[in-house]
Amino acid sequence: MIERIDAIIIGAGHNGLVCGAYLARSGLKVLFLEARDAVGGMTSESTIDDDFHIAGLAHTSFPVCAKIRKDLRLEKFGYSAGKGIETITLQEDGRHLRFGRNTVSGPDLTDKDVDAYRHFKDEFFGYAKAMRPMFATRPPRLKNMDFADKMTLAKLGWNIRFGLGRESMYEFLRVAAINIYDVLEEEFEDERLKGALAADAVIGHHMGPRSPGTVLTWLARLHAELNGPLSVVSGGPSQMCNALLQAVEASGASIRTGARVKKILVDKGKAFGVELEDGEIVKAKTIVSNADPRSTFLELVGAPQLDATFIQRVTQIRGAGDVAKLHLALSGTPEFLGLSASELENRLLIAPTMRYVEHAFNDAKYARYSEQPVLEITLPSLHNDSLAPRGHHVMSVNIQYAPYDIDGGWHEQKTTFAYKIIALIGKYAPNLKSLIVDHEFLTPQDIESRYNVRQGHWHHGEMTIHQSFMMRPVHGAAQYNTPIDGLYLCGAGAHPGGGLTGLPGHNAAQRILESGIAK
Amino acid sequence: MSIPNDHFRQAIQHTPFHARLAALTQTEEWTVWNGCMAPRVLDKLSTEYFAVRSSCSVMDMSPMEKYRITGADAYRFLDRLLTRDLSALRPGRVTYVVWCNDEGKLIDDGTLFQFGDGDYRLCSQHHQFDWLMTSAMGFDVNIEVETHDVAALAVQGPTSYSVLTEAGIAGLEDLRPFGIANLSCQDFPVVVSRTGYTGDLGYEVWVSPENALPLWDAIFSVKSRYDVHAIGLSTLEMVRIEAGFIMPGFDFNTAESTVRANFDRSPYEVGLGWVVNLDKGQFTGRKALVAESKRPAKRRLTKITIEGNKPVGEAFIYNKKGGKLVGEIKCAVWSPILKANIALADIEYIGGALPKKLWARLDYQRELKWMSAWAECRPTNKPFYSPDHRSATPPSRL
């Protein structure tokens, strides 16, 4: 049976699913080829000790934007934004702070900082809104602009000048490209408050609060928060991907799992199909890669099919993962000092001060894991009781920083590091150690091999300024096009980058449909 | 790669033939070529020129950049680097090649020697190691700079075959143009290729540096019977223009050294479209060149003959006397053998075609007084000078 395929999506992560759903809805015959046995990429489920289930890598997410929800009718397929949670930043002495959208509360917090936080969040939400034209469409080219590119820039200019107003525009232009450390130092006095915000700005990145561009990474996060509060990705597979999967299936696309693409087939600069690991060849005029840009260009396409400088740029993409993930299977509910049982539904941060976060990063700069890492902790089984046996729980911990390459190698140090993390959490939750039934620990190298993403980077590449917007992933491959005709990128390596937003997939689909291949 | 680790102590290097050149020079007119001392003229330009065209010239070409390219992916690497279809190249053969950046603009040109399967030498005008290493990303290939490990003499002119044979290099009779032969001279091995930059019958003789002086002495040992003359770069400049060969960095700005937009040139723009094969598959710059090939031609480096015998230096070209500026002369020479002013000129096309008329405005001095004159130019596609004896195999024994 030979069936005509219009578009092949390599990888059924959430962005691939969003992109494929849009393409299929506009009448294209779409085939997903996913190397793993499950769809959903980094959100797909991981099982520990047979009875404990947890979302593999994704951990918390903001709601999917209204446009994608509406276009793909995700609510109809069972999507809901999930229960909104707040962030509690833990202190060893129990003087925790609790953050809402623009509220913060906790012992010994001055009214001045409470007011400053409200004003600060509102102001920065304004900046994030002003940048919306840049995030929600393809980034404009600066050379050979077309009408849409000019409109995007015009909207951005209008939003910054008239949406923000003169004073806010000056402030936005002052802070947009600097580091979060300096900005937070100017705004706040409370070290706990600054520590938590600094951690939010750098989470998932190989950057410390003093690294340039960390205001921009925080703005990207705020842009997602505009859609609503954070919720826990509750596993099993995630609600978002489940809804997307159903949307994709309803649109007539087909999905093959366990189908690892080995090569993207190119003839005279044009993609015409893919070759699977077992030698099977599937042909299509449009190939969309949800894989990260380095895997796409260096492995799937290969240097011989591309220009030399382009390959050099791709080789130099900055994107070594710096976050490890620890999953704990627990025989009971951990007790955190100063937290009630109901408060454990929230996102718990260990980032007591901004200097703590910066010092944690210092280790990573010199190829060591953080002796005192920043931790982001959730208990997904409090949101979905099917994840663990009755009375039991699963805990998910993001550990920052854990460089992809460390001196001495991960093999030798993985276990020691895991024990250090458990001991660190133990300072805040003394009974934790006694509850551990089993664990799973993923270094960036494990993330790389499990999720087929080069160097195990969540975002498929750092979201630095020089790798953002029209430079994401590299000059010559922005706007979702690639130097290979008929080959597009739709993953986090493309603009606007990582996070469970679906925006790269949405923008890529727009781009592909604009190019006129739709029936 | 072997670079002597104290080479930096001497700002300008001597080539392995330096002792002989230094003994011969009457003028001490030296220049620097790729970091090596090289003569412009050794005694008299006209004598040297006529050695190339009438007897036998010998030029030290050791400073030429040389790269040895080996490894499992050597062919695939070169195929992706170079614009030309290499599928017909065989061991023992040489081909002329150019390479471009991603934008399809020329980086350099050179000759590619294939010694065996997966064993190549690339010779270039300019230093290319960085570009070769950039291009090597993703290929299993080994690139070694062998510029200083191989000495070379260009032996060129109608009697070059006879001179080399007399000098004791046997076996040249079957060597066709662009062929390579492993031979010996007296008791040491030499590699001889029938290649050159003069447009005449000629050979390039490659030898390890310790055999450089014995090779030189063997060639010059026939001087009592043949006119053998060492030449410098000034002669080379004359004869390469007669042969219609271009010089990257002089006739056009090379891409990697160009700052201003559109000051670099594509192969089409310098008349090298014949070395670009858009059908062979991917090579760096292909996509840009496909796009360029579909647009009307904007400009071409054109061979022109300029009427009259007034000296031609740098000059602008117009579409008529006092008309629209359409180009400029990049290099020009009075050709003694053709008795004509010949030049390569960068000409802007009008409506995708060469302007119907070309006029050069010549500014020149007569007894220190500046004069100005108009001279009509005639374009030509063929080399200005290409004698039949250049390609005859076997060459005539003279």
pLDDT tens, A427-460? Answer: 999 999 999 999 999 999 999 999 999 999 999 9
Report CB contact under 8 Å: A309, B101. Answer: yes
Tokens 């080959």 -> residue:
A487
CB A289 within 8 A of CB A473: no
In chain B, at which residue ranges do the beta strands (DSSP E only) sit? 29-33, 36-41, 56-60, 65-70, 93-100, 106-116, 119-124, 142-145, 151-156, 180-185, 188-193, 202-207, 228-230, 299-306, 316-318, 325-335, 340-348, 358-366, 369-380
pLDDT in tens, B270-302: 999 999 999 999 999 999 999 999 999 999 999
**Residue in chain A lying closest to B75 (CA):** A304
Q: Is A409 helix (H, G, I), strand (E, B) or coil?
A: coil
Q: Please, what is the average pLDDT of chain B?
A: 95
pLDDT in tens, A90-106: 999 999 999 999 999 99
Confidence of residue B239 (pLDDT cuts 50, 70, 90): very high
pLDDT in tens, A264-320: 999 999 999 999 999 999 999 999 999 999 999 999 999 999 999 999 999 999 999
Both A225 and A244 in a single domain? no
pLDDT of residue A519: 46
Position B348 in a domain:
yes
Q: Measured between beta carbons, which residues in chain B are less than 8 angstroms from residue A268?
A: 278-279, 281-282
Judged by a CB distance cut-off of 8 A, whether residue B140 touches chain A is no
Both A161 and A226 in a single domain? yes
The Cα angle at residue A11 between residues A5 and A15, in degrees rounded to 5: 100
CB A472 within 8 A of CB A461: yes
Confidence of residue A43 (pLDDT cuts 50, 70, 90): confident
Of A305, A312, A476, the CB nearest to B282: A305
Position A198 in a domain:
yes
What percent of chain B stands above pLDDT 70?
99
Is residue A2 scored above 70 in pLDDT?
no
Both B57 and B155 in a single domain? yes
Judged by a CB distance cut-off of 8 A, whether residue A476 touches chain B is yes
Both A197 and A243 in a single domain? no
Both B235 and B174 in a single domain? yes
Is residue B142 scored above 50 in pLDDT?
yes
Both B318 and B376 in a single domain? yes
Both B135 and B215 in a single domain? no
Both B154 and B77 in a single domain? no
What percent of chain A stands above pLDDT 70?
98
Averaged over B346-350, what is the pLDDT?
A: 96
Both B154 and B133 in a single domain? no
Judged by a CB distance cut-off of 8 A, whether residue B105 touches chain A is no
Position B270 in a domain:
no
Helix axes A191-202, A180-187, angle to 10 degrees: 150
Report CB contact under 8 Å: A303, B138. Answer: yes
pLDDT of residue B1: 47
Cβ within 8 Å of residue A358, ≥6 positions away? A181, A198, A208, A209, A210
Averaged over B335-364, what is the pLDDT?
A: 96
Distance CA A267, CA A279 (A): 18
How far away is chain A from the Cα of B261, in angstroms, using its nearest Cα?
13
Report CB contact under 8 Å: B285, A269. Answer: no
Q: Please, what is the average pLDDT of chain A?
A: 92
**Interface predicted TM-score of the whole assembly (ipTM), two decimals:** 0.92
Both B210 and B223 in a single domain? yes
Distance CA A271, CA A340 (A): 57
Instruction: Mean pLDDT check: name the lowest of A4-18, A144-158, B242-256.
Output: A144-158
Instruction: Mean pLDDT check: name the lowest of A63-77, A273-287, A469-483, B226-240.
Output: A469-483
pLDDT in tens, B217-234: 999 999 999 999 999 999
pLDDT of residue A1: 47
CA distances from B273 to B47, B79, B205, B217, B250 (A): 36, 17, 29, 41, 19
pLDDT of residue B69: 98
Q: Measured between beta carbons, which residues in chain A are less than 8 angstroms from residue B286?
A: 269, 307
Both B200 and B138 in a single domain? no
CATH number at residue B344: 2.40.30.110
pLDDT in tens, A177-216: 899 999 999 999 999 999 999 999 999 999 999 999 999 9
Domain ranges, residue B71: 66-145
CATH number at residue B81: 3.30.70.1400
Tell which phi-psi region holds residue A363, choosing left (phi > 0), alpha (psi between -120 and 50) or beta: alpha
Position A33 in a domain:
yes
pLDDT of residue B157: 97
Confidence of residue A235 (pLDDT cuts 50, 70, 90): low
Averaged over B47-70, what is the pLDDT?
A: 98
Strand partners for B182: B191
Q: What's the structural domain count of chain A? A: 2
Position A96 in a domain:
no
Round the CA-based radius of gyration of chain A to a whole number and report it. 22
CATH number at residue B33: 3.30.1360.120
Residues 68-87 of A with CB under 8 A from B: none
pLDDT in tens, A118-170: 999 999 999 998 888 878 777 877 777 788 888 888 888 888 777 788 888 88
Q: What's the structural domain count of chain B? A: 3
Is residue B2 scored above 70 in pLDDT?
no
Report CB contact under 8 Å: A308, B279. Answer: no
pLDDT of residue A144: 73
Look at residues A214, A230, A246 and tell me which one is the last residue of a structural domain: A230
CB B390 within 8 A of CB B156: no
Both B230 and B167 in a single domain? yes
Look at residues A191, A212, A230 and tell me which one is the last residue of a structural domain: A230
Report CB contact under 8 Å: A310, B102. Answer: yes
Position B283 in a domain:
no
Position B58 in a domain:
yes
**Residue in chain B lying closest to A304 (CA):** B80
Domain ranges, residue A469: 7-40+237-318+459-514
Both A128 and A149 in a single domain? yes
CB B97 within 8 A of CB B109: yes
Tell which phi-psi region holds residue B185, choosing left (phi > 0), alpha (psi between -120 and 50) or beta: beta
Position B281 in a domain:
no
pLDDT in tens, A362-413: 999 999 999 999 999 999 999 988 999 999 999 999 999 999 999 999 999 9
Both A197 and A127 in a single domain? yes
- Maximum distance among all alpha carbons in chain A? 71
Q: Who has greater pLDDT, B5 or B394?
A: B394
Position A468 in a domain:
yes
Q: What pairing do the DSSP bridges indicate for beta strands A270-276 and A261-267?
A: antiparallel
Q: H or E segment at A87?
A: strand A87-89
Position A205 in a domain:
yes
Confidence of residue B5 (pLDDT cuts 50, 70, 90): low
Of B76, B102, B279, the CB nearest to A308: B102
Both B89 and B120 in a single domain? yes
**Residue in chain A lying closest to B139 (CA):** A303
Strand partners for A353: none
Both A132 and A160 in a single domain? yes
